[in-house]
């Protein structure tokens, strides 16, 4: 298993977290992977678009009230 997380900061910087399984790669192959993949990741980070949606608490409460069933139960949280 190989887990990779890319975090792009508002200042333009990026952080890359890698969590490899030793069954997939050893230290040498991980280093090669990071060295070769770094320019690709930097290019991807420049094209990344992030959107944040903020909802008013009163609007959420109104929506929950509208979607409550006949028994008055709230919908499950996901």
pLDDT per residue over 21-73, tens digit each? 878 788 888 888 778 877 777 777 677 666 778 889 999 888 888 877 656 66
Q: Is residue 18 within 8 Å of residue 6, measured between CB atoms?
A: no
Domain boundaries along the sequence of the chain: 2-67
**What DSSP letter does each residue of 5-60 carry, written as one string?**
EEEE-TTS-EEEEEEE-TTT--HHHHHHHHHHHHHHHHHHHHH---------HHHH
CA 42 – CA 6 distance, rounded (Å): 10
Provide the pLDDT for residue 72: 63
Q: Is residue 67 within 8 Å of residue 59, measured between CB atoms?
A: no
Provide the pLDDT for residue 56: 92
């Amino acid at each position: 298993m190989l887990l990779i997380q890319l975090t792009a900061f508002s200042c333009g910087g990026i952080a890359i977290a890698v969590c490899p399984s030793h069954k997939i790669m050893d230290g040498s192959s991980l280093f090669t992977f990071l060295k070769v993949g770094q320019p690709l990741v930097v290019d991807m980070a420049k094209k990344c678009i992030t959107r944040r949606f903020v909802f008013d608490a009163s609007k959420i409460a109104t929506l929950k009230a509208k979607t409550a069933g006949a028994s008055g139960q709230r919908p499950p949280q996901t």
